[in-house]
Structure 1
Amino acid sequence: MTDPQGWLSAATVDDAVSALRPDYRAVLVTADGLRGGPGDDVSERVLAAAEATARSRLGGRRPEELPELAAWRDAYRAFGAKPQRTRPSAEALLRRLDPDGLPRIDRITDVYNAVSVAHLLPLGGEDRAAYTGPPRLVRADGSEPFDTTAGGEPVVEHPEPGEVVWRDDTGVTCRRWNWRQCTRTRITTATTSALFVLDGLDPLTDDELLAAADALTEGLLALGPDAVVHRRLVGPARSTGGTDRS
C-alpha cells in the first residue's frame, strides 16, 4: 500500500472549491494497523461519552442553530444543494441523537461518529486500501461515477455539475462535500487501513479542528494501540501555525 505520508502529501483541494469557500480547511488522517470489527466496550464507551457532550453543546437547540453547523448549510447552498433535503453529515448525525442515541455500526465507525458529534464538525471515514490514487476535493463535471445502493441494489449515480465531491482516480468517494459516501471505499469490519476527513469552516478554528483530530487519534489508539497514525492539515490557516502538519 502507498506510504501514508507520501499519499497525504498528494491530496489536494481544488482551487474551484477554495474559491467557493475560502475558509475551508480539512485535516486528513490516515491510520494503519487498525483492528476493525463489531462494536465493543471500547467503542461504546467513546460513543456514549460523545453523546453526552453533544447533548450539552446543543443545549436543547436544533443542530442547524449552532454556528458551526449553520456554516455548512450555507456551503451546501453555495453549490446548489438543498441542505434541508440532503443534510451535512454532522447535522444528520446530531438529529438522530435523541431519543434513542446514535446508531451503533462498527467499532471504527462508532469512534469517528463520536468525534463528529462531540466536536460539531463533519467527519467521514474511508477504507484506504480501496482507494486508487490520492483523495481530491473538486467541483464535479457530472460525469464521475458514484457507486451506491438504491432499493437495496447496487447502482451507479453521477453528481450534479458543480457539486463539491471527494474523489480518487476511479470516481467519487463522497458526494456533496460530506453528505454520502460511496460503497467502494466504505469502512467495514474487515478494515485495517483507513482515511478520515475532518471538515472545517469558520467559525471553527484550526485549533478546534486539530483538537478534533487529536480526539480521533486517541479513540483509534484506544481501539488498537499498535495503529500508526499520520495527519495533514490542508487549506488556509485560520489561527496560528502552518497548513501542513503530520
Structure 2
Amino acid sequence: MYFHHSDEVWGRFPELRALVLVLRQAGNAGLNAGALDSTYAEVAALQAERAESEVPSLQAWRQTYAEMGLKPTQYRCAAEALLRRFRKEGCLPHVLPLIDALNAESMHAAIPIAAFDCACLRGGVVVRPANGLEAYQAFSGEIERPAVGEIIFADEDHQAHSRRWVFRQGAQSVISPTTDTVLMVAEALHPQAWEDLQALRDRIGIRMGEMGVAIAEEDILSPSNRRFEFSL
C-alpha cells in the first residue's frame, strides 16, 4: 500500500510536513485507568496559558483553510476541534483505547492526527483535490459527494476517507475493536512542523509501547520525500 499527497497539494502548500506511522496489533491496545491523566493535565495547563488562536500550529491550519476558501471558524482542523471541546467540557468521550490515546496526543501537540483501518482502504491513499467521483460515508450513514477541488483523503476506489482535508474523517475506515493494522497520519504546516512532528512521534512511540501496539513502519514526508509505501 502507499500514502502520499498529490503534486497539486505540494504545489500549494510546500511548507507541509507529514508524520506517517503503520501501527500493528491495534486490536490488542489497552489503557490502564488514568493512563492519560498526565497528558490531559498538561493540555489543560497549556490552555490556561493561551487560546487556540495563539497556537502556531493551529494558526497555520486556520490560514490554510482560509486559502482554501473556507471559514476557519466554521471548519476547524481536527486538533483544534478536540481542544475546543476539551476546554469547554474538561474531558473527551471514551471511544477506543487507541483512539483515546491518539486524541490526547493530538491535543498535546496541537496537530491533527488521522487514523485509518488499513483493511478498509483500497490500494493506497492520496491527499488530493476531489474530482467529483468520490463518495464519503458520514457517521450518520449518509453518503456525501465532496465538491470538485475539495482536498480529501481518497483511495483507489474513489472512496473519500475525510472531508475538507483534516476537518472530519469518514465512517468507512474508522478504527474498530477488530482493527489490526492502522495507517496514522499527522500533518503540520507551521515553521516548527518537522521538530514538532518528531516530538510527537517520540511521545506516540512511548504510548504505543505501553499499550502493546507496534510501530511497524514510519517516515516524515516533505517536498523532497513525498511517498510512503508499506506492506500489510
> Do these two structures clear the TM 0.5 threshold for a shared fold by scoring above it?
yes
Q: Which residue of 2 aligns with 1:23?
A: 15
1:157 is matched with 144
Q: CA deviation at 1:209?
A: 0.7
2:65 match: secondary structure: helix
User: In the TM superposition, what is the alpha-carbon distance from 1:31 to its structure 2 partner?
Assistant: 0.8
* 1:231-246 equivalences in 2 (<5 Å): 231-236=218-223
Aligned partners of 1:33 and 1:228 also within 8 Å: no
Structure 2 length-normalised TM = 0.89
Report SS of the residue matched to 1:162: coil
Aligned residue number for residue 89 of structure 1: 78
| Closer/same/farther in 2, CA of residues 244 and 135 from structure 1, 3 Å limit | closer
Change (3 A) 1:55 1:176: same
Query: Of 202, 209, 232, which residue of structure 2 is paired with 1:221?
Result: 209
1:180-223 deviation digits (Å, cap 9, x = unpaired): 11111001122221111111112233122122122112212211
Q: Distance in 1 between matches of 2:10 and 2:226?
A: 14
TM-score (norm 1): 0.84
Residues paired across the two proteins, number: 227
| Structure 2 stretches lacking a partner, 5+ long | none
1:228 Cα deviation after fit: 4.3
Map residues 67-106 of structure 1 onto 2, 5 A cutoff: 67-98=56-87, 99-106=89-96
Q: Does 1:55 align with 2:44?
A: yes
- Alpha-carbon separation, structure 2, partners of 1:199 and 1:55: 22
Tell me, yes or no, if structure 1 residue 65 matches structure 2 residue 84.
no
- Cα displacement (A) at 1:60: 4.1
Of the candidates 3, 17, 21, which is equivalent to residue 11 of structure 1?
3
Distance 1:82 1:123, change over 3 A: same
Deviations 1:126-151 (A, max 9, x none): 1111111111110112331111133x
Letter of the 2:24 counterpart: D
1:198 aligns with one of 181, 186, 189 = 186
Task: Give the distance between the partners of 1:35 and 1:217, measured in 2 at CA.
Answer: 17
Describe the superposition over 1:4-26 as per-residue Cα deviations: whole angstroms up to 9, x where unpaired. Answer: xxx3xx32211111122110111
CA contact 1:164–1:175 (8 Å) conserved in 2: yes
Classify the secondary structure of the residue corresponding to 1:167.
strand
Contact 1:232/1:244 (CA < 8 Å) preserved in 2? no
- Cα shift readout 1:32-88 (whole Å, capped 9, x = no counterpart): 122357x7426x41x322222222223343212212101101111212222211211
Partner of 1:184: 172
Alignment map for 1:103-114 (pairs within 5 Å):
103-114=93-104
Following superposition, the deviation at residue 123 of structure 1 comes to: 0.7
Unaligned 5+ segments in structure 1 are: 1-6
RMSD: 2.2
Quickly say closer, same or farther: Cα 1:207–1:34, change in 2 above 3 A: same
* Pairwise CA distance, 1:94: 0.3
Question: Contact (CA 8 Å) 2:21, 2:215: kept in 1 or not?
Answer: no
Aligned to 2:27: 35
Match of 1:166 in 2: 153
Q: Which has the higher contact order (CA 8 A, sep 6+)?
A: 2
Asked if the contact 2:137–2:144 (Cα under 8 Å) also holds between the matched residues in 1, the reply is: yes
